[in-house]
Amino acid sequence: MTEKLVYITRRERFNAAHRLFREDFSDEKNLEVFGKCSNPLWHGHNYTLLVTVKGPVDPETGFVMNLKVLSSIIKEHVIDKLDHRNINLEVDFMEGKLASTENLAIQIFEVLNKELSSFNGISVHCIKIQETENNFVEYFG
Ligand code: NI
């Protein structure tokens, strides 16, 4: 019998500052490549994070996993580290990475997949981040 996988999603929000830039670019070149996000004096975004997790339905509970538990894992390992922080300077899992939403999605995927490895059959399916009203990033691992 094939296992029926179900996908569940939890939404969280955080506000954070960042700057997109390369040290080896001039301010003019950074502005050209990264636009307003290259502002040397930082700026912030109100991010929305959608974490989709997949797994079989536990016959005892009818759940893939308890969403309250998922929410507290996301809060502890991701949101508490990002919310009201500077992504370039303060977030351990973004150290040495360009503070783009793409890199954020990859790192959050890795962090959460590791935290969920102790849950039988559960893994991260997708990390989706909305940075602005019109810009979304998705990472499927
Ligand atoms: Ni920005």
Which residues form the catalytic set? Answer: 37, 84, 131
CA angle 140, 34, 27 (to 5 degrees): 145
User: Residue 102 burial (CB < 10 Å; 0-12/13-18/19+)?
Assistant: middle
Helix (H), strand (E) counts: the chain: 5, 5
Summarised one tens digit per residue, pLDDT across range 61-95 is 999 999 999 999 999 999 999 999 999 999 999 99
Strand partners, 52: 9, 126
- Give me ligand 1 centre to Cα 124, in Å: 26
Higher local confidence (pLDDT), 120 or 50 = 50
Average pLDDT over residues 37-45: 96
What's the mean pLDDT when you consider all of the chain? Answer: 96
Pairing between β-strand 123-130 and β-strand 5-18 as defined by DSSP bridges: unpaired
**Cα of 32 to ligand 1 centre, how many Å?**
14
pLDDT above 60: residue 11 = yes
| 91 CA → ligand 1 middle, Å | 16
